[in-house]
Amino acid sequence: MFTQKPTNVTLFTGIVYTMPCEATGVPDPTYTWTFNAAPLQESPVILKLLSGGLFFADVRISDSGRYTCNAQNLHGSKSADAYLKVVKGKSLPSL
C-alpha cells in the first residue's frame, strides 16, 4: 500500500525537487523507477532514494515526461505514475 504517491507537477528549470514514493509492506518493499516506460538511469543529477523517492538536483527540460514508481516485495507489486513538466523561466506567467 502506498503511503506517498508521486503526483503530477510543473517545475521551472534549475529547481531541486524530490518526487515522493513510499509504500508499506512486510517485508519492506524495494523500489524501481521508469521514465517514459523505460528503466530510469541514475545520473549525477537524478538519484533514487532508499525511501523510494526520486531526487532531482537540477531539473531540466529533458526531464519532462512520465515517471512510474514500482514498489515490490515477496507478495506482489504496485505502481504509481506522475507526469513532470519542466518549463523555462523563474515565475509562472500571468493569466
Whole-model pTM? 0.90
Cβ atoms 34, 67 nearer than 8 A:
yes
pLDDT tens by residue, 5-61: 999 999 999 999 999 999 999 999 999 999 999 999 999 999 999 999 999 999 999
pLDDT higher than threshold 80 for residue 73 = yes
Band of residue 92 on the pLDDT scale cut at 50, 70, 90: low
Sheet holding 17-19, edge to edge: 17-19, 54-56, 46-48
pLDDT for 58:
93
Residue 29 CA to residue 89 CA, distance in Å, equals 38
- Residue 81: how many other CB atoms lie within 10 Å: 13
